[in-house]
Structure 1
Amino acid sequence: MLPQDEELPINLQRLQAVSRGKVAMQKRLLEIFFQAAEGDIAALKEAIANHDFPTIKHKAHQLKGSSANVGIPKMSIAAAELQKQADRQTLPEANELVNEIENYFQKARQFAEIHFSD
């Protein structure tokens, strides 16, 4: 039995809504998301190290939207906070936030691998 959706790393109701319930589409959406997000997280780490505020803002914005679209709300919330900090050009919690983003990313990927295994 699965825990309630809000406890899962991926909100399956959101994912089903976006994919119109098509499991193959859910798998493909997540596959595309995970591939893109991996690169965005790496770019975020580099941008934070270099205090590159425009790149931080851009990548955090991308992750905020894409993770919300596929149903990973906690990742979206952390990315939104990082985007706000980049807007203010102050990064007091940038490393912690990118670690949270990466943690939610890993949990979602592991969950997807198990949930969608045939």
Structure 2
Amino acid sequence: MLPQDEELPINLQRLQAVTRGKVTMQKRLLEIFFQAAQGEIAALKEAIANQDFATIEHKAHQLKGSSANVGIAKMSIVAAELQKQAHQQTLSEANQLVNEIENYFQKARQFAETYFSD
């Protein structure tokens, strides 16, 4: 038995709603998300190191939307905070926020691998 969706790294109700309950589509959507998000996180780290506020804001915005779309709400919330800080050109918590994003990313990926294992 699975814990409540709020406790899971991925909100399965959200994922099922987006994919109309099609498991194959859920797997594919998450594969695409994880591949893209990995690149976005790497780009965020580089942009933070270069204090490139525009890129940080853009990449954080992309992660905010894509993670919300697949049901990884906590990652979306942290990405929104990073986007806000980049917009304000404040990076005092940027590394910590990227670490949190990466942590939620890893938890979601591990959960998906276990949940969708055949």
> Does the TM-score normalized on the shorter chain lie above 0.5?
yes
Q: Name the structure 1 match of 2:91.
A: 91
Q: Deviation per CA, 1:18-48, whole angstroms, max 9, x where unpaired?
A: 0000000000000000000000000000000
SS where residue 51 of structure 1 aligns? coil
CA drift of 1:92 comes to 1.3
User: Hey, what's the Cα distance between the residues in 1 that align with 2:2 and 2:17?
Assistant: 18
Q: Name the structure 2 match of 1:78.
A: 78
User: Hey, what's the Cα distance between the residues in 2 that align with 1:78 and 1:57?
Assistant: 12
The alignment covers a number of residue pairs equal to 118
The one-letter amino acid of 1:10's match is I
Which stretches in structure 2 are left out of the alignment for 5+ residues? none
The one-letter amino acid of 1:70's match is V
CA drift of 1:50 comes to 0.5
Q: Name the structure 1 match of 2:38.
A: 38
SS where residue 51 of structure 2 aligns? coil
Q: Name the structure 2 match of 1:65.
A: 65
The one-letter amino acid of 2:40's match is D
CA drift of 1:96 comes to 0.5
Q: Name the structure 2 match of 1:25.
A: 25
Q: Name the structure 1 match of 2:106.
A: 106
SS where residue 10 of structure 1 aligns? coil
Which stretches in structure 1 are left out of the alignment for 5+ residues? none
